Amino acid sequence: MGAPNALGTRLLAAAVALSAVAGVPARAEAAGPRRTRTVVAVADRKVSLAQVRLRFVEARRCRSEPPSQGEGRAPTLREVRAARCRLRPLRRALPVRARGTFGIAELGTLEPDAAGWIRVSVAAVDDGLGRKGLTLGDVRTLEVGPEGGAAIVRLDRLEELRAKWHVTWIQRGVGVPVAFAALHPNHSAAGWARAAAFEALLARQEQALRGALTDPERAASFLRRYAWSPYRDRVRAVLEGRGASRVSPTAP
């Protein structure tokens, strides 16, 4: 091809000059949006006594890196929206890990539903830990997602929430205080639960006492059922034929 004519040379020079003034980058791809790798983000979470539900989205073709990347946690929906990512519901299984003083225990993977929700059952986690010789009390956090970018569930906060709801249910007449005291011995309401459990025990014994004072068979059943009771001497007197009306309630 021959050399360009004078007009073509002047037009080419003018185009280069205009590009320099306008700040047009030398390479076309540099002017486009920055494309980052696909990341998993937490869009929503719902916590109940029995489970934690997490809704994940896949954030793709982000114009900037979500700020939480590198912090060891999954970005939030607000963060990936701020990074101008393209979003879609999660379509792949995510690993679940338990982390505590013992280190890290892998607990398998969980599949999302069509909307991207993953359900983490507390009972299933407890069962998986049990097979490894661990308990929920050994775990600080559960991590759902890829290493370095997972949704983090703090079990101490979940346990506090479970305890709070348990107390509320007992105060409404659902559940028994002794179970709360056994499950949450270090909770601030454990003392109240133990006292309430003792009062409930005495109420049951008083109800059983009415029949035990008039029926030897019920008296024997009472003694077998209640190893400790302030009414044992009165019930024992029925079996011994001494009558119970003049016997004061004492511990065995």
- Those residues of the chain that have pLDDT short of 50 are 1-2, 11-12, 14-33, 244-252
Cβ–Cβ < 8 Å for 191, 178: no
pLDDT at 93: 94
What value does the CA radius of gyration of the chain take, rounded to a whole number of Å? 34
Burial class (CB in 10 A: 0-12, 13-18, 19+), 92: exposed
**Cα–Cα distance, 235 to 229 (Å, whole number):** 10
Distances in whole angstroms, Cα of residue 136 to Cα of each of 58, 72, 124, 159, 166: 30, 22, 11, 9, 17
Q: Would you say the pTM of this structure is higher than 0.85?
A: no
Q: Taking each helix axis from N to C terminus, what angle separates 216-225 and 190-212, rounded to the nearest 10 degrees? A: 160
Strand partners, 87: 59
Please give the Cα distance from 217 to 125 (Å, whole number): 47
Amino acid at 245: S
Output the six-digit token pair for 1: 């091809």
pLDDT at 6: 58
* Domain range summary for the chain, segments of one domain joined by +: 39-159, 176-239
Residue 242 CA neighbour count, 13 Å, CB half: 10
Mean pLDDT of the chain: 78
